Structure 1
């Protein structure tokens, strides 16, 4: 059986409260008594519950992180950025997903009630923003990563979706592409609206407004990119470029073009968004707007941990700009 605090107290001839005080460094305990308790702890090999000690000290030194799922293509980069900072600062991390809907959120709420972590990093599971806002208003420090166009009442870290998409438009225009097919993400997401607006504005400013027939709503999957290209080719709708709202749907577009015998980039240039490792391994390699995913996760974690150390939370979002990576799908060699 595991050694308990009661075993330590009995062997040292003190109360459990005294053992607790020695462990958490609070309260007045005589030097000899404290030394005796520590000697018993060493002799018995007692390992106190980190959570119990943390609660006694008023801090768990644990950061919570709530995300929709781990299957999102870019989630690993964000998680790694946050985890690198959390670990470097000597904190632990509790990761929660929302893959089972309400049941997942009930389990998460029970950990909130148990005060299992000191602050929370969030990539918002859809429909939970009001609840997360309530947690913040009740005193839990919260940082939102990728606000997807929302304007939360608490700090966030985001990137420049609109200007990133405008950069994609400028790149395609510089290569003489005048009729781009746009495969968007889900229209209810703010990032989709921002990317569409930035790209459309770039073409409009060049005197080439986007043909509405060339804007196809997708869902960020490989299949949506493939199907969009196949349908337009089958319908005889001409286009000389594809701008997909993520790399996965861009990869689907590349597959459909290859299957149809269209040359990339000679016949059709293709641009994605995210610049995941996948982009360097498509055929041909994919030009893409780079989201600073690792940097966003790291910045959110730094902000939260700095706040836990006493720094006020920022009043405005932290914005980390996109960049553009040119590869062979638009003509780079």
Structure 2
């Protein structure tokens, strides 16, 4: 294996001192144009790569933004990632994508690794976990990143506390669920099934079920616990959950799928069973991913500003003088999958 090129090799090739090479690489010290050109030519010819740990010791950032998400195949995650990558590029940063597979221990390990690599920002997207051990460790990492000149960004999840140095970019998750449930109730629906994750230690799930419950309370409609069907955010779960509802003969006039992917599975199961949407059963989703306009019928859903979440997360993390906690709005997108109960 060939020997690694060092800063001393570049210095010899350029006819300058190693300190001058470091100054040119860091870009934080005045160097003549001719000297800079010689060093840059030597760097190219020798294919020199600066050592990340050495740069960290000198106080230079990595020029990298880390984006941490549960699953690269999740459509809503993909659009947040698109916004992150676009804004990072616009602000002269590279974007590194990491996945956690829903494992809180892995998420914590990734944050620690990115702190060691001196990422300019570490952006966590999607639901967080509410158990105390996880929360305390995340607070510890937030302070550690801050001391290292980096920033922990919570994207689509709530803040860790007013005294914790983080950038928080939320969306009105509970409000979106409340608005969608209110829309169904206003159409005369009183037996609405909720299909999706309902874990109390999962921030996204907690807020959506809170919005669903609060809308029932506001309309004075009792909520039947039997109509809340827990499961994961996947098309397969939506399909299986709808199949079970039909087989059990559970009386309902509408299904609120916790994500658009869950809704896609529901629509497939209903279509196979000969149940018409929206004539027999109304179906709604959450996220407004591109799939929502391609299913039949086109899905009424809650729109999350996914790309804006990603862009805002990067912009605020790299602009410390701007407000570091914002909440973006959600709204209903009415399409063809809901009909009034009256007249059925």
Please give the TM-score of this superposition, normalised by the length of structure 2: 0.82
Which consecutive residues of structure 1, in runs of 5 or more, have no partner in the other structure? none
Which consecutive residues of structure 2, in runs of 5 or more, have no partner in the other structure? none
* 1:292-321 deviation line (CA, Å, top 9, x unaligned): 1111111111110112xxx1663xx31111
Structure 2 counterpart SS, 1:168: helix
Distance 1:162 1:262 in 2: 30
1:252 aligns with 2:262: no
Match of 1:132 in 2: 138
* 1:244-292 deviation line (CA, Å, top 9, x unaligned): 1111111111112112211100110001011111111112111101111
Match of 1:144 in 2: 154
Structure 1 counterpart SS, 2:319: helix
Moved more, 264-273 or 17-26: 17-26
1:221 aligns with 2:224: no
Distance 2:264 2:71 in 1: 21
* 1:89-121 deviation line (CA, Å, top 9, x unaligned): 112222222249667865663442242x22221
Distance 2:232 2:187 in 1: 27
Match of 1:303 in 2: 316
Match of 2:289 in 1: 276
1:38 aligns with 2:37: yes
Moved more, 100-109 or 286-295: 100-109
Contact 1:3 / 1:45 at 8 angstroms: preserved in 2?
no
Counterpart mapping for 1:32-181 below 5 A: 35-36=34-35, 38-39=37-38, 41-42=40-41, 45-46=44-45, 48-49=48-49, 55=56, 56=58, 58-99=60-101, 106=109, 109-115=112-118, 117-123=119-125, 129-138=135-144, 139=146, 140-147=150-157, 151-152=160-161, 153=164, 154-181=166-193
Structure 2 counterpart SS, 1:170: helix
Distance 1:187 1:174 in 2: 27
Distance 1:252 1:104 in 2: 28
Counterpart mapping for 1:169-248 below 5 A: 169-188=181-200, 189-248=202-261
Structure 2 counterpart SS, 1:219: coil
Distance 2:333 2:124 in 1: 28
Contact 2:180 / 2:332 at 8 angstroms: preserved in 1?
yes
Structure 1 counterpart SS, 2:66: strand
Deviation, 1:28, is: 7.3
> How many residue pairs end up in the alignment?
322
Distance 1:12 1:159, change over 3 A: closer
Distance 1:236 1:100 in 2: 33
Distance 1:165 1:248 in 2: 16
Structure 2 counterpart SS, 1:8: helix
Distance 2:252 2:110 in 1: 49
Q: After the TM superposition, which parts of structure 1 deviate over 6 Å for at least 4 consecutive aligned residues?
A: none
Match of 1:9 in 2: 11
Distance 1:225 1:99 in 2: 20
Q: CA RMSD in A?
A: 3.0
